[in-house]
Amino acid sequence: MNFSGDYRYNAVIPGQVVPAQFFGGPAGTFAEVKFGVPIVLSNTVQLNQILFNSQVNYGLAALRINSEIVKIQRDMTIQDVKYQVANTFFILQGLYQQLQFIDSNISYANRILKNMDLMVGQGMLVQTEADKIRINRLNLENTQANLLATQSQLEDLLKILIGADPKSKISLQTDQMVQKSILVDQNASNLFALQLLEQQKLMTQEEAKGIKMGYLPNVNFYGIYQYNVNMNPETDFRTGIDGAFVGLRVDWNLFDGLDKHHKAAVNALKQEQLEAKTALVQQQLQLQIDQNKRLIDVKANALEISKEQLKLAEAVHQHASLKFSEGLIGTNDLIQAQTALEQAQTGVVAAYVALRQAELDYLKSNGNIK
């Protein structure tokens, strides 16, 4: 329903020429006649009711499908955010473990240096040998400082991702460096890319229906009520005239220059493309899921091997440390054992993070990150 008002002052009242014989004048002559009054107040109320519109069903279906598309896109965004949160968490877990290893190594270096400095002071050891251990400790302290800076950056990023106060402190539960994680979920896949394509296919199908329906006419019922007030201030004349009518309007585009025909052809091509794309994406997603699942086993085995290497490196280092204290080996041999231990420790942390990332990639590929 619409309302319109028109308040008009006719500075010059429009006129029209008519035959003079209308007013008893001679035939063949004309007279000028003015119609109307100076002031006209016009008010109109109009009601329109759609009885049939060929595009209504298509429009409602498109809104429903579009809402599903928005929901799927929202779920995809949530999965991406969860992936970033989990990935940041596991990288932090690796950093925490690496820092624990470095703290232990620095403590060990301090104990060794304390004994070696005493020996240097007693003339039992040259300063160069102690400086070799001191250089190794400085390298560890430099690595520790870099890791602490990275830890601070990742914690700030994690706060942003989870919506925490940037000034607050976070405390994370320690994740055990196990071979396989309960993170791996074998539930049914939520392939959002396929779901999105399915909704796009439904949209093109509804669009095709809308194009066909466009050949039908649109039918509207309408009613109008008018009330006009005519006033002439010079003669103090005023009167109101009302009027009302109802009608039925049919709009039918009989020829549109083959516009709908071409739209239908484009729509059919779009449907074929979506069908082909759906088949391709389905194959790619399944291949990606299978590859990520196999990669989990590979990374799990790599973590197990790294743990065995760490055990061996710890045993070798412990044996070298004992021999060094007994004076059976030199500083170079001890540093070599210490370096092998540090490499093994780094290898375990790297293998752990790689396994967790492989698990995350698998869960993301099938849409099951919880």
pLDDT in tens, 287-321: 998 898 899 999 999 999 999 999 999 999 999 99
- The first and second tokens of residue 105, run together, are 């190594």
Contact (Cβ atoms closer than 8 angstroms) between residue 287 and residue 187: no
Entry pTM: 0.74
Q: What is the largest CA-CA distance in the chain?
A: 149
For the cut 80, the answer to whether the pLDDT of residue 162 exceeds it is yes
Percentage of the chain exceeding pLDDT 70? 96
How far apart (Å, rounded) are the C-alpha atoms in residues 158 and 171?
11
pLDDT of residue 68: 93
pLDDT at 20 > cutoff 80? no
* Separation of alpha carbons 75 and 96, rounded Å: 31
Mean pLDDT of 143-163: 92
**What is the dotted CATH code of the domain comprising 72-213+258-365?**
1.20.1600.10
Mean pLDDT of 53-58: 82
Contact 170, 344 (CB under 8 A): no
Q: What is the pLDDT of residue 177?
A: 57
What are the sequence ranges of the domains in the chain?
72-213+258-365
Instruction: Express each pLDDT in 68-104 by its tens digit.
Output: 999 999 999 988 999 999 899 999 999 999 999 999 9
- The Cα 295–Cα 302 span in angstroms is 10
Q: Pairing between strand 39-52 and 218-232?
A: antiparallel
Type of residue found at 211: I
> Which tokens go with 76?
């995809």
Model confidence at 52: pLDDT above 70: yes
List the strands of the sheet with 237-251, edge to edge: 2-9, 39-52, 218-232, 237-251
Residue 225 host element (H or E): strand 218-232
pLDDT of 179 strictly over 60: no
User: Average pLDDT in the 131-144 region?
Assistant: 94
Give the chain's end-to-end CA distance (angstroms, integer).
Answer: 50
The more confident residue out of 263 and 179 is 263
Q: Exposed (0-12), middle (13-18) or buried (19+): which is 218, by Cβ within 10 Å?
A: middle
Residue 302 tokens read as 């790599």
- Cα–Cα distance between 284 and 366 in angstroms, integer? 12
pLDDT in tens, 247-274: 999 888 888 888 888 989 999 999 999 9
Six-digit token string for 181: 């994680």
Compute the distance between CA of residue 300 and CA of residue 302 in angstroms, rounded to an integer.
5
pLDDT band at 14 (very low <50, low <70, confident <90, very high): confident
Give the CA-trace dihedral at 123, 125, 126, 131, to 10 degrees. -130
- The pair of structure tokens assigned to 26 is 């001679």
Q: Which amino acid is at 242?
A: D
Cα dihedral 304, 174, 159, 368, rounded to 10, equals 60
Cβ neighbours for 242, distance < 8 A, ≥ 6 positions apart: 225, 226, 227, 228
**Separation between Cα atoms, residue 261 and residue 347, nearest integer Å:** 65
The token pair at 256 is 């549109």
Report whether 315 contacts 344 (CB < 8 A): no
CA–CA dist 340, 136 (Å, integer)? 13
For residue 323, name the pLDDT band (cuts at 50, 70, 90).
very high
Give yes or no for a contact between 189 and 368, defined as CB atoms under 8 angstroms apart. yes
| Helix, coil or strand: residue 197 | helix
CA distance 37 to 47: 29
